[in-house]
Structure 1
Amino acid sequence: MKPKILIVDDEPDICKALAFLLKREGYSTTTANSGEDAIEKLKAEGFDIVITDIKMGKVDGMAVLEKAKELHPDIAVIMMTAFASIESAVDAMKRGATDYIVKPFHNEEIKITVKKAIEQKKLITENIALKQQISQRMACKDFITNSESMLKILETLEKVIPTKSNIMILGESGTGKGLMAEMIHCNSPRRDKSFISINCSAIPEGLLESELFGYKKGAFTGAVSDKLGLIPLAHEGTLFLDEIGDMPVNLQAKLLKVLETGEVYPLGDTKPKIADVRIISATNVDIENKIREGKFREDLYWRLNVIEIKIPPLRERKDDIEVIAKHFINKFSSEHKKIIKGIDKEAMSLLIAYSWPGNVRELGNVIERAVVLADSDYITVENLPDKLKMLKMVEHTAQPSTLKTYLSDYEKNLIIRLYNAHNRNKEQTAIALGIDLATLYRKLKKYGIEE
């Protein structure tokens, strides 16, 4: 099927020339001599590409771009502009245009630009189809993603999930390691068996041992009856060991024995219990460094880390922020019985600009707060916390008059942005800036950011 192109220009000769050229290249073309006519045609049928002039009458190219994206989100839009208004074309790119061409243009330039847009649209369409396939197969739990890096992880998991292999999930706090562990379990052949989760850093060492392995009546003071441990409880299912890096070394040896033998000895018992368990572990610390320090057993590490999955922090997958924010809006609107339709563009731009040191967990907190505070059916900048509003102040700083002033303003704004992004934590801010703590203190004082 021929790709369909809508050509929009208030100069009929340009429309005819472009239509003639592109038909010869094998495309199906339709022309419109005004923005109004273009919008009517976009409402009536679907197109693969829109090529539109920016400067037109009452309804200009920007309006055509906005309506085209509203009606057909995946459509490719190429802007035509005179040399003097390239700035407008760049602005259009920020609003979702695929590319722009400058008048007067050469035929080869048109052909190359259109071909590139068609290829890009094809890739996007294929990518969306692949994401939908994976999303359908990974439908369990609310692991929502729209980023290429996460898509690759899900593709890897598709190969791993049907197996018995143990998995270690690495990632900063709040990235969704526990959610991923649940998703792995409920898409695996073990889905009908137990998913048992325990946080190794949240339970004292003595209690952690009895929780994991269980105990016999009389094994210690207070053991008034037999208790089945979490490992045997997870038999034929999945055991999720969160914060595995904080597990005491003596318990690591016992866990290794379980993995080697498939048997669990409850405290005070001489008779083992069978434990066919898949272990998914997670940590936000550098396990290999813990091994070097003698705080984590290397033999256990290789048993647990058959497959390693590293979840990128939210700041490295900006494509996920909007889709996750919308998910949280729906979730918290329902929980708090409020009708919130979405988030306005300015507020969304601040969410995307923020570095999210607390990752998805922090984003959920910000959205829940905004839902509760919202006075209208859309979340606005006013509903966001001060650390995000500060980004808006930085964006609107007056333009400097000299290079020296520009660099100074840029440095000041960068420090303000990162300082607030890291909740005014000086050590984290210094690391993010790549400077030592003493230098940061001097600059905070220099710019009057903190007395």
Structure 2
Amino acid sequence: MPLSRFFFDDIRTLRQGAAGLVAGSEREKMARLADRASRSPLPVLIESEPGSGAKALAKAIHESGDRKARSFIRFQAEDAHARDDAETAFLRAVREANSGTLFIESAEHLTISAQDRLMDLLAQQDAPSRMARRLDVRIIASTGFDISERVRAGHVREDLYYRLQALPIAIRPLRAQRENVTEWARLFAERFATDEGKRIRGLSADAVALLTRYDWPGNLRQLENAVYRAVILADGTSLTPGEFPQIAVHVEGFRVEVPPAPIMRTLAPIRAPEAASRPDPHAVSLLRDGGDMLTLAEIEERAIRFALMHYQGHLSAISRHLGIGRSTLYRKLKELGLSDAAA
């Protein structure tokens, strides 16, 4: 389940007044801010570190508002900054988002010409009637940088900065909200266990201690990937430190050693593989629980999911190492419902 669905479900839970959100929690705070933003046409500026879920939150705001049936267009300003056609690319994204939402990622990297165009667009939003507007686009921007520094340095227009801050939302890095790590991990584990058909009831006390002591430089995206990998590796009914070897090696007192794969004798009869007490975290199983082999399509899906986690959603790295083109990769991600996890 994409991260955006968690944010969307939180907004829906808040509106329904149903149980599920603890009053005063970080999730409730984010849900209230997102709900307020979804009910307003004003620009939104999401300030967060990479991997904190800015894109997922932006999409949840879009899906919760009156434009949910329209386009949600993502424009990566940092990628476009060095291109000769940066302004043209931005204008194309604006046109594609007409009547929908334009999500500008890393807005601090917009070129000056693109900033001028954006200011023109925002000025149109002040028109007294829709008839006076050439384009009707909801603007949501994100920044992983202290954008005020870019303003002082002259790289970002000051008036644009204040326009984008009409509805500011700040997402704290995961290391600054360790009290919420367990809640997020359990949510991810529940959803992924359901998706994978595994009977996992939660996390052991040692696993909770491990996850809350780690700094999570990749924030929610890294936690989501770590829990997904743990669910795939798990043989028991709860997740333990043994399912988080890539995290345990960075936390003192939790180092987990993965035993080498056993050497099979060539003359020995072929037997169904036995479950290892600590499975290799880098292995992608070719067998189902009953011992039958997966189909090629299922193997391909597992390989893509693993690559998506291993390369943290970066399409260029994934396509290069899997040996397929970016367009083919993106099509497969869409077919698998994984396109939201791509960077």
TM range (shorter): 0.5 to 0.7
Aligned mates of 2:201, 2:218 — CA distance in 1: 25
Distance 1:150 1:337, change over 3 A: closer
Mean CA deviation greater in 360-369 or 372-381: 372-381
Give the partner amino acid of 2:61.
I
Match of residue 340 from structure 2:
none
**Residues 145 and 320 of structure 1 are in contact (CA less than 8 Å); yes or no, is this contact kept in structure 2?**
no
Match of residue 248 from structure 1:
111
Aligned mates of 1:338, 1:148 — CA distance in 2: 29
Aligned mates of 1:379, 1:279 — CA distance in 2: 40
Aligned match of 1:205 in 83, 86, 93? 83
**Residues 11 and 34 of structure 2 are in contact (CA less than 8 Å); yes or no, is this contact kept in structure 1?**
no
The Cα offsets for residues 224-260 of structure 1, whole Å up to 9 and x where unpaired, read as xxxxx22122222211111111112222112212222
Match of residue 327 from structure 1:
187
Aligned mates of 2:84, 2:75 — CA distance in 1: 14
Distance 1:231 1:273, change over 3 A: farther
**Unmatched segments (≥5 aa) in structure 2:** 1-8, 127-131, 256-343
SS class of match (1:241): strand
- Aligned-CA RMSD value: 3.1
Match of residue 231 from structure 1:
94
1:213-292 equivalences in 2 (<5 Å): 213=91, 229-261=92-124, 274-292=134-152
Aligned mates of 1:145, 1:310 — CA distance in 2: 19
Larger radius of gyration: 1
Aligned mates of 2:79, 2:21 — CA distance in 1: 27
Shift of residue 379, structure 1, vs aligned partner:
1.6
Matched, 1:305 2:165: yes
Aligned mates of 2:246, 2:51 — CA distance in 1: 21
Match of residue 226 from structure 2:
366
Aligned mates of 1:301, 1:392 — CA distance in 2: 42
Shift of residue 273, structure 1, vs aligned partner:
8.5
Match of residue 293 from structure 1:
153
Matched, 1:174 2:51: yes
**Residues 49 and 173 of structure 2 are in contact (CA less than 8 Å); yes or no, is this contact kept in structure 1?**
yes
Aligned match of 1:161 in 32, 35, 38? 38
Mean CA deviation greater in 381-390 or 187-196: 381-390
Aligned mates of 2:89, 2:195 — CA distance in 1: 33
Match of residue 215 from structure 2:
355
Match of residue 189 from structure 1:
66
**Residues 198 and 241 of structure 1 are in contact (CA less than 8 Å); yes or no, is this contact kept in structure 2?**
yes
The Cα offsets for residues 199-233 of structure 1, whole Å up to 9 and x where unpaired, read as 111234334433321xxxxxxxxxxxxxxx22122
**Residues 232 and 274 of structure 1 are in contact (CA less than 8 Å); yes or no, is this contact kept in structure 2?**
no
Distance 1:248 1:158, change over 3 A: same
**Residues 124 and 133 of structure 2 are in contact (CA less than 8 Å); yes or no, is this contact kept in structure 1?**
no
Aligned mates of 2:211, 2:23 — CA distance in 1: 16
Shift of residue 387, structure 1, vs aligned partner:
4.2
1:6-21 equivalences in 2 (<5 Å): none
Aligned mates of 1:295, 1:325 — CA distance in 2: 38
Mean CA deviation greater in 151-160 or 184-193: 151-160
Aligned mates of 1:364, 1:286 — CA distance in 2: 25
**Residues 67 and 101 of structure 2 are in contact (CA less than 8 Å); yes or no, is this contact kept in structure 1?**
yes
Distance 1:136 1:394, change over 3 A: closer
Aligned mates of 1:327, 1:249 — CA distance in 2: 41
Give the partner amino acid of 2:67.
R
**Residues 341 and 378 of structure 1 are in contact (CA less than 8 Å); yes or no, is this contact kept in structure 2?**
yes
Shift of residue 311, structure 1, vs aligned partner:
0.7
The Cα offsets for residues 410-441 of structure 1, whole Å up to 9 and x where unpaired, read as xxxxxxxxxxxxxxxxxxxxxxxxxxxxxxxx
SS class of match (1:190): coil
Aligned mates of 1:238, 1:287 — CA distance in 2: 22
Aligned mates of 1:285, 1:392 — CA distance in 2: 31
Shift of residue 320, structure 1, vs aligned partner:
2.3
Higher share of residues assigned strand:
1
* Aligned sequence identity (%): 29
Give the partner amino acid of 1:184.
I
Matched, 1:317 2:317: no
Match of residue 236 from structure 2:
376
Aligned mates of 1:314, 1:333 — CA distance in 2: 23
The Cα offsets for residues 374-395 of structure 1, whole Å up to 9 and x where unpaired, read as 2323221112125435535189
Aligned mates of 1:250, 1:310 — CA distance in 2: 27
Aligned residues: 238
Aligned mates of 2:186, 2:95 — CA distance in 1: 40
Give the TM-score, by structure 2 length: 0.61
**Residues 10 and 28 of structure 2 are in contact (CA less than 8 Å); yes or no, is this contact kept in structure 1?**
no
**Residues 107 and 141 of structure 2 are in contact (CA less than 8 Å); yes or no, is this contact kept in structure 1?**
yes
**Residues 195 and 234 of structure 1 are in contact (CA less than 8 Å); yes or no, is this contact kept in structure 2?**
yes
SS class of match (2:75): strand
**Residues 371 and 379 of structure 1 are in contact (CA less than 8 Å); yes or no, is this contact kept in structure 2?**
yes
**Residues 262 and 274 of structure 1 are in contact (CA less than 8 Å); yes or no, is this contact kept in structure 2?**
no
Aligned match of 1:345 in 193, 196, 205? 205
